[in-house]
């Protein structure tokens, strides 16, 4: 019985990992499309103002996709506390999606504000 519970809870971790990979793949494609749209070649991490008129917009998309280490730590924590990790993982994925879509507009007012007093 305990092994079935353990497998189910580990399944949450696997599902969370799959969802993260899908979300991150979508975000990476957004950066790729922005590179094509704003003519920013590879090996150039950020657009330079002298080379591109849409510097700030491309740079916001580029910064929005960089992978934080939080998710790796959340997966490791899932071995000891899988249900807490599952809840935090879902919150993180939803937050990351909305943060990226807002951040990539280039307008600071569109960024996700959780716990803001505004």
Give residue limits of the domains in the chain.
10-110
Q: What is the pLDDT of residue 52?
A: 64
What angle, rounded to 10 degrees, do the helices at 55-65 and 82-103 form?
A: 170
**pLDDT for position 112:** 62
What per-residue confidence (pLDDT) applies to 117?
46
C-beta of residue 78 within 8 angstroms of C-beta of residue 11: no
Place of tokens 């990979």: 21
What pLDDT shows up at residue 44?
73
Listed as ranges, residues in the chain with pLDDT below 50 are 1, 115-118
**Is this model's pTM higher than 0.85 or not?**
no
């Amino acid at each position: 019985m305990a092994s079935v519970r353990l497998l189910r809870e580990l399944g949450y971790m696997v599902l969370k990992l799959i969802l993260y990979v899908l979300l991150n793949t979508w975000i990476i494609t957004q950066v790729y499309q922005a590179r094509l749209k704003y003519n920013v070649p590879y090996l150039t991490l950020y657009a330079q103002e002298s080379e591109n008129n849409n510097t700030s917009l491309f740079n916001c998309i580029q910064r929005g996709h960089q992978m934080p280490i939080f998710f790796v730590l959340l997966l490791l924590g899932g071995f000891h506390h899988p249900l807490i990790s599952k809840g935090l993982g879902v919150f993180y994925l939803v937050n990351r999606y909305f943060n990226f879509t807002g951040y990539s507009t280039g307008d600071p007012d569109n960024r996700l504000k959780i716990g803001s007093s505004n």
